[in-house]
Structure 1
Amino acid sequence: MAPKTVPHPALSKILLDEATLQARIRELGAQITRDYAGKRLLVVGVLKGSVIFLADLLRALGPEVDVETDFVAVSSYAGTASTGAIRTLLDLRHSPEGKHLLLIEDIVDTGLTLTSLTETLRAHRPSSLEVCTLLDKTECRKVPFQPKYVGFKIPNEFVVGFGLDYDERYRQLPCVGVLKI
């Protein structure tokens, strides 16, 4: 088998190609559909990184789930490093009270951002609150945090593409690749 062609000169290698990503998103969609069939689900995308994953995941959900969509924006990164300080840039427009809330994230590494965000969202009294992430860097955890739905566990490398960025660049790439640094 020939090695995967790297679609951008800023990438050192591809971790996940588009076909692999789409197949796993379909699996996650089927699992979430089974778990929330017959229920009202507020799907909340964490901007900006989750937008491509969220769009594909929404299309993978079955009609058995009554889906409402909203967004939040938080920031904890400067360049390639997490600052540890979490800033809310955009809050929910719809109340999650009494609804099943599924938070969609592009990547979980330290767990600090999602721990803070889930604590904030729990104060709005949703019926349930779970997290679905495309990528999970478990070896980077600084706090115990485990998303219910995980697309892929990946090594501790700085990745871009499929919504993930470096200083707002490379989100459009159809794969997840390791950035040359």
Structure 2
Amino acid sequence: MNLIIKGKELQLYFSKEQLNNMVAKTANQISVDYQEKHPIFIGVLNGAFMFMADLIRAVDPQLKFQIDFIKLSSYDGKQSTGIVKALTGLKNDIKGRHVIIIEDIIETGLTITAVIEEMKKLEPASIKLCACFLKTGKQKINIQPDYLCTEVEDKFIIGYGLDWDEYGRGLDQLYYIQ
């Protein structure tokens, strides 16, 4: 079956099984590192929602945590504008808390760097970054996630929460557009 979005055929990058294995490995490491810390997972919407849902279901059920979300935008179609627009904020106070920011993909590093700088102002005990994907060769700011599922090539990817003008987010596998 050929998947076509906006007239472009999608090519499979990672299967659902491959994604599940990557997420489980990442969740296991977080479970070990945060056994007694009661972290708050903060998902960056809209892209991180599928990854975050799978990740928190995969962490140790004994791990005590909370979740929250922020919504940002720095995209116009297939291109990052480089300008971060904050759309909605946190509902929980993170002062003194161990924060794990959940991001779908890091490309230029501009968006997530802005998020981290804003969160530092709220005085958390710690901030760690967890990303599903790190796109190689695109970074303008060198930022390495503390937890990373995998690196991806410099291709336009879609699915597993990632979209193209809001199309394709619900795909349970990762695809690329040639």
Compute the TM-score of the two structures, normalised by the length of structure 1.
0.93
Q: Which runs of 5+ in 2 are unaligned?
A: none
The sequence identity of aligned pairs, in percent, is 33
Counterpart of 1:126 (choices 108, 124, 127) is 124
Task: Give 1:175's aligned residue.
Answer: 173
Q: Shift in Å at residue 69 of structure 1?
A: 0.4
Alignment-mate amino acid for residue 61 of structure 1: V
Give the alignment of 1:2-81 within 5 angstroms.
Answer: 8-10=3-5, 11-81=9-79
Aligned partners of 1:12 and 1:56: how far apart in 2?
23
CA deviation vs aligned residue, 1:82-105 (integer Å, no higher than 9, x gap): 001101001001011111000000
Q: Shift in Å at residue 66 of structure 1?
A: 1.3
Question: Secondary structure in 1 aligned to 2:4?
Answer: coil
Aligned partners of 2:117 and 2:96: how far apart in 1?
16
Aligned partners of 1:138 and 1:101: how far apart in 2?
25
Task: Give 1:117's aligned residue.
Answer: 115
Question: Secondary structure in 2 aligned to 1:169?
Answer: coil
Aligned partners of 2:59 and 2:10: how far apart in 1?
33
CA deviation vs aligned residue, 1:56-91 (integer Å, no higher than 9, x gap): 000011133211000000000000000011010010
Aligned partners of 2:122 and 2:90: how far apart in 1?
10
Aligned partners of 1:94 and 1:153: how far apart in 2?
31
Aligned partners of 1:179 and 1:164: how far apart in 2?
12
Aligned partners of 2:122 and 2:173: how far apart in 1?
35
Moved more, 84-93 or 57-66: 57-66
RMSD: 1.1
Q: Which runs of 5+ in 1 are unaligned?
A: none
